[in-house]
């Protein structure tokens, strides 16, 4: 059922069309002039307009032009006894869906109307879908425009539509749970539960009853049946966090569930069929665990059907500024304080190695906002490990702090610091910077890409040119 407005100065035509489309169960109104039609549409919009072109006060083309201003999506069919090429062209330009010449066969007009309504329906559906997608995008709030994150977004979109098990790997705090939720939210399972469970936080027996449930009397204290998470997340998604922490016995049980798509609650005789999508995550190197024999190879292949690898923050330093901005907004909104951040502070944050990744950055900003009194986060309000982070000093002193260091992170950071220094000294001249570092230009470029600082060389060069001109 659609809302249709008929516009014609001929009373006979208005009556005929009102009758025909009223009988087809549409809500029909009629106007005797373009001017009257505009009034009626302003009071109450329509889905479709069937309008004459030649009318005394405001002709159909002029009316359509005015309508498009406030009803951009309305479907329009023009009819005229004087079908001039010019009028038709003008009507189409203004987005009329069709054009019919009087006198016409009423069945032909009915067909044209049907087609136009179908198109309108598709358009509306598409809009609603896009809006829903945008909503979800906002909910997920995954920040980062680096190429590594772009690849992650693509993977999320690809795997959202399929049923396969996904394995998300990445260091602590890289956003594994966030990505798991995004996959669920973009999947057809979005209206069903997303159930996260930390496999490392339970003893073997507890984990089993958490995952698969139990029946009354299965063990002391089991006074009633209880659903497991697999069942609770039926038609939805279960997120097995820290899957690398599962005991060998649980690994076997999980493998069976994935193979058979059935679970057996503790103490039950019958198995239950389940339709639960599994997303697993780990910050351990499962492949290495397979080699050591601590993680089952068959289970590894089962869960790693589609792997998503999240980069550590130190490998996407170009995202740090966006993340700072994002967390700043978040905590400013939470605390009601007005706080911004100095350039020097951002620079320090960009150069730190972030062993705790995005979570550590988030906590750093949270703390800085909470403690800030001046309204601007200065380096003094940042944690010592950030402000005193000097890889060169650590390397020359060979001091290994008691709490240990993240060797990979330090070496990466050290590499970047040397490259930045070489570029600064050579005003961004890559050939000379490569010489200083005893590298081939090609290797240097490779490293610039790796650290996401290739653009910097151009900037340094133009800065140098600018300085030269000023001097």
Instruction: For the segment 280-309, give every residue that binds ligand ATP (CB under 6 A).
Output: 283
Which of 63, 91, 96, 170 lies at the binding interface for ligand ATP (CB under 6 A)?
170
Closest CA to 194 of 140, 149, 263: 140
Decide whether 139 or 206 has the Cβ nearer to ligand ATP.
139
Which of 24, 143, 439, 464 lies at the binding interface for ligand ATP (CB under 6 A)?
143
Decide whether 9 or 177 has the Cβ nearer to Mg ion.
177
- In whole angstroms, the minimum distance from the beta carbon of 185 to ligand ATP comes to 13
Binds 385: which of Mg ion, ligand ATP, none (CB < 5-8 Å by kind): none
- In whole angstroms, the minimum distance from the beta carbon of 362 to Mg ion comes to 13
Considering the rule CB under 6 A, would residue 318 count as an interface residue with ligand ATP?
no
Give the footprint of Mg ion on this chain (CB under 5 A): 177
Closest CA to 179 of 329, 311, 355, 331: 311
Closest CA to 250 of 196, 211, 306, 307: 211
Considering the rule CB under 6 A, would residue 175 count as an interface residue with ligand ATP?
yes
Decide whether 102 or 359 has the Cβ nearer to ligand ATP.
359
Decide whether 283 or 390 has the Cβ nearer to Mg ion.
283
Which of 58, 120, 178, 222 lies at the binding interface for ligand ATP (CB under 6 A)?
178
- In whole angstroms, the minimum distance from the beta carbon of 206 to ligand ATP comes to 19
Which of 144, 213, 228, 311 lies at the binding interface for ligand ATP (CB under 6 A)?
144
- In whole angstroms, the minimum distance from the beta carbon of 283 to ligand ATP comes to 5
Decide whether 151 or 273 has the Cβ nearer to ligand ATP.
151
Q: Which residues contact 205 (CB under 8 A, 6 or more apart)?
A: 219
Decide whether 59 or 318 has the Cβ nearer to ligand ATP.
318
Which span (115-123, 167-175, 209-217, 390-398) binds ligand ATP, by CB under 6 A? 167-175
Which span (64-72, 354-362, 414-422, 432-440) binds ligand ATP, by CB under 6 A? 354-362
The span from the CA of 274 to the CA of 252, in Å, is 18
Which span (111-119, 336-344, 358-366, 416-424) binds ligand ATP, by CB under 6 A? 358-366
Which of 48, 96, 97, 173 lies at the binding interface for ligand ATP (CB under 6 A)?
173
Binds 358: which of Mg ion, ligand ATP, none (CB < 5-8 Å by kind): ligand ATP
- In whole angstroms, the minimum distance from the beta carbon of 322 to ligand ATP comes to 8
Considering the rule CB under 6 A, would residue 328 count as an interface residue with ligand ATP?
no
Pattern of binders to ligand ATP over 53-92, x per CB under 6 A?
----------------------------------------
Decide whether 283 or 417 has the Cβ nearer to ligand ATP.
283
Considering the rule CB under 6 A, would residue 160 count as an interface residue with ligand ATP?
no
Q: Which residues bind ligand ATP (CB under 6 A)?
A: 141-144, 170, 172-178, 283, 326, 358-359, 362
């Amino acid at each position: 059922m659609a809302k249709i407005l008929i516009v014609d100065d001929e009373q006979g035509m208005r009556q005929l069309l009102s009758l025909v489309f009223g009988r087809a169960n549409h809500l029909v109104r009629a106007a005797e002039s373009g001017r009257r039609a505009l009034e009626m549409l302003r009071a109450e919009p329509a889905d479709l307009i069937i309008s004459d072109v030649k009318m005394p006060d405001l002709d159909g083309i002029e009316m359509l032009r005015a309508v498009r201003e406030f009803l951009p999506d309305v479907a329009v069919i023009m009819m005229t006894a004087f079908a001039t090429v010019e009028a038709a062209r003008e009507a189409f330009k203004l987005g009329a869906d069709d054009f019919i010449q009087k006198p016409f066969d009423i069945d032909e007009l009915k067909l044209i109307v049907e087609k136009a309504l179908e198109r309108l329906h598709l358009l509306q559906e598409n809009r609603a879908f896009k809006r829903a997608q945008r909503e979800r995008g906002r909910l997920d709030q995954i920040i980062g425009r680096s190429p590594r994150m772009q690849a992650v977004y693509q993977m999320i979109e690809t795997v959202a539509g399929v049923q396969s098990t996904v394995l998300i790997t990445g260091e602590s705090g890289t956003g594994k749970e966030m990505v798991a939720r995004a996959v669920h939210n973009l999947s057809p399972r979005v209206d069903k539960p997303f159930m996260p469970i930390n496999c490392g936080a339970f003893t073997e027996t507890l984990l089993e009853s958490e995952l698969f449930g139990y029946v009354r009397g299965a063990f002391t204290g089991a006074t009633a049946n209880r659903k497991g998470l697999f069942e609770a997340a039926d038609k939805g998604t279960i997120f097995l966090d820290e899957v690398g922490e599962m005991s060998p016995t649980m690994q076997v049980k999980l493998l069976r569930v994935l193979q058979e798509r059935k679970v057996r609650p503790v103490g039950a005789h019958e198995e239950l069929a389940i339709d639960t999508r599994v997303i697993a995550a780990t910050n351990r190197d499962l492949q290495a665990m397979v080699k050591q024999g601590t993680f089952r190879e068959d289970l590894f292949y089962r869960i790693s059907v589609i792997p998503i690898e999240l980069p550590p923050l130190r490998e996407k330093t170009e995202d740090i500024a966006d993340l700072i901005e994002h967390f700043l907004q978040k905590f400013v909104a939470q605390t009601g304080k007005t706080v911004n951040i100095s350039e020097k502070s951002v620079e320090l944050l960009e150069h730190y190695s972030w062993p705790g990744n995005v979570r550590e950055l988030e906590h750093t900003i949270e703390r800085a906002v909470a403690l800030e009194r001046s309204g601007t986060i200065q380096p003094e309000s940042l944690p010592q490990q950030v402000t005193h982070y000097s890889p060169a000093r650590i390397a020359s002193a060979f001091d290994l702090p008691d709490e240990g260091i993240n060797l990979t992170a330090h070496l990466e950071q050290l590499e970047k610091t040397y490259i930045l220094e070489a570029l600064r000294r050579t005003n961004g001249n890559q050939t000379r910077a490569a010489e200083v570092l005893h590298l081939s230009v090609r290797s240097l470029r490779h490293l610039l890409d790796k650290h996401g600082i290739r653009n910097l060389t151009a900037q340094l060069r133009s800065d140098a040119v600018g300085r030269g001109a000023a001097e």
